[in-house]
Structure formats: C-alpha cells, structure tokens
Amino acid sequence: MVQASRPMVLGNLPRSVLGEGPIWLPESNTLYWVDILGDRVHSYRLIDGHVGTINIGPYPSCVMPNEDGNLVVTVKDRVLLVNPHNGSVLRVLATVNEPPSNRFNDCKCDPEGRLVAGTMDMNEKNPTGSVYVVDPGFGLRKIMGSVTISNGIAWSQDGSSMYYIDSPTRRVTVLRYNRREGVVEGVIKHIDLSSYPGVPDGMTIDSEGYLWIALYGGGKVLRVNPVDGEVTGQVEVPAQYTTSCTFGGSSLTTLFITTATDRSRQTTGPDGYVFSVEAGVRGTMVSKCRF
Ligand code: BGC
Ligand code: CA
C-alpha cells in the first residue's frame, strides 16, 4: 500500500469551472491544465509561481507538448498546434466530423508520438463518441467507436497495453495496443470500479505500472494495479469533482490533481482548484507528440 500525504490546494491559481488534463513539463518546471468550460489553458511554473493563461476558443479539452516546445490542444472538433506563449494557432492538425452535440475530451500522446484523442456526447447520454489517432504526417484515423464520454488514456511502459476509460461504463478497459502501427487489437480485460463513488475520469500511470484514476463525483484518486484490478491506495481530495492527475515536481513524486466545480460557479469550497500531494512513488513522464 502506497502512503500518500494529504492533498493541498496548489499555489494561488485560477479556479476552473471544469479543470482537466494536467501535464508536467520537466524542462520548464511547469504544470499545464485546461478549463474546458472556462475556455482557458493555464500553466503554473513551480520555481517562481508564474501563472500563464491562454484563450484559444471554446472547449479546450486537452493539452499535450510536442517536440519543438509547442502545444497540441484539442478543442471542440479540431486538433490545433498552438504557441504556448501567446496562444496563437500555428496549424490545424486535424478536424473530426461529429454531431454538433459532441466535443473532444481527454487525449494523450502514445509512446511513438501519435496523438490519441477521444470525443464525447456533451449531454453525456448517447454512445456517439469515438477515439481517434492523429499520426504525424498521415492525418486522422478512427480506432474506436460507440463511446459516450471518452476519458482517461494511458499506456503500459512497453506500450503493449493501452488503458482506456469510457466514464459511464465505470470501468477501465485494458486493450492490446500495437505500438508500431498505432492500432488497438482487442480487449484484454475490464477492471470494474462501480463499487467506488463517482465515475472514473482522467488517469496516469506510475513507474511501477500502477494506474492513478480520478473519480469524478467521488472526490478521490485511486491507485489500481492493472494486472489484477486491486486497489492499492486512495487519495481523498476535499473537492468532489476530481477529474484527472499527473506526476511532476523535481523528483516526479508529486501528484497534481485537477478538479471541477459543480458548474453552478457558486461554489465556496476549494473545488475547481488544482491540488498536489506527495504520492510516495515516482510517476512517469508523458510522451511528447511528434508533430
Ligand atoms: C468531462 C465531463 C464529464 C466528466 C465525467 C470529463 O472528462 O469533460 O464533461 O462530466 O468527464 O464523465
Ligand atoms: Ca476527463
């Protein structure tokens, strides 16, 4: 059982309506995250507390680094390459053709630098969403269909398994992933989390191969062994809508957790802020996109 400390609200940062998708960039000591319903991409440089905010239009749902220091950002139905300093759009990398009530949601770069990004029904009811791969130089491919709220994505260290969450199923699906081709080759198993409160949302993976999964509505992050589904740790967060997490800090042992408000914007508690906690285990770094 990994012993984590108590999560604390991080710095003096903006509150998000729907804070999501934290990523850590070690070269600049900076945490990035999005506020999907506040239309903002935020950053926080840990060494000096510098906060940056860029606005690139409605529904920025996920941000990932590329190899040149720019950001790949998914917005409603597009994947953009963005200048992190001023938010200007350098290139439209892909556009999806989806119902108007859909939008992009979580994304991640696979170990080969492709972007894998899912979509969701904004009414959170119908399985009209999909998961896409954007290959550098080759455009867009759909790798999964019939998902309702495409959410957490992570890979095993060797890239042979992809972990995937469609939130209303309340489970994590372990998929066989062909890293050379960037395709999913079948379901290995499902890990059922329906006995826990809320629904699984964003996730990351630590250096021991365990998943850290935020429970939206459950106010916690679970540490789960994907081999046998055992829950080996829990971080209780004093905010109900925990959305996602990532490892960072100088030794990669700090877990940053994003949260959302209940969307009324009338909240008085710490929900909508980013929390940090010493996880007691080292994380892994996100792969960069090769765009
Ligand atoms: C989505 C939210 C959704 C939540 C729980 C998030 O990733 O952006 O709209 O309510 O997951 O499923
Ligand atoms: Ca999410």
The ranges of the chain with pLDDT < 70 are 1-3, 264-266
Which residue ranges make up each domain of the chain? 8-278
pLDDT confidence of residue 230: 98
pLDDT reported for residue 244: 98
DSSP string, the chain: -------EE-TT-PPPSBEEEEEEETTTTEEEEEETTTTEEEEEETTTTEEEEE--SS---EEEEBTTS-EEEE-SSEEEEE-TTT--EEEEEEE----TTEEEEEEEE-TTS-EEEEEEETTS-S--EEEEEEETTTEEEEEEEEESBEEEEEE-TTSSEEEEEEGGG-EEEEEEEETTTTEEEEEEEEEE-TTSSSEEEEEEEBTTS-EEEEEETTTEEEEE-TTT--EEEEEE-SSSEEEEEEEESTTS-EEEEEEE--SSS---SSTTS-EEEE-SS-B-PPPPB--
Q: Judge whether 71 and 82 are in contact, CB under 8 Å.
A: yes
Full-model pTM: 0.97
Which pLDDT value is given to residue 3?
67
Q: Which atom of ligand 1 has the smallest separation from the CA of 244?
A: 7
Q: Which of 35, 76, 167 to mutate to test the pocket of ligand 1 (most atoms within 8 A of CB)?
A: 167
Ligand 1 atom closest to Cα of 168? Answer: 12
Residue found under tokens 């916690």: 220
Residue 152: its pLDDT value, please?
98
Ligand 2 center to 91 CA (angstroms): 24
Q: Cα separation of 105 and 98, whole Å? A: 13
Q: Identify the CATH number of the domain defined by range 8-278.
A: 2.120.10.30
pLDDT (0 to 100) of residue 11: 82
Q: Which residues line ligand 1 (CB under 6 A)?
A: 18, 20, 36, 105-106, 124, 149, 151, 167, 199, 201, 216, 243
Predicted pLDDT of residue 57: 87
Q: Would you state the pLDDT for residue 5?
A: 77
Instruction: Give residue 242 CA to ligand 1 midpoint distance, Å.
Output: 10
pLDDT at 1: 57
Q: Kindly report the protein residue whose alpha carbon is nearest to atom 11 of ligand 1.
A: 201
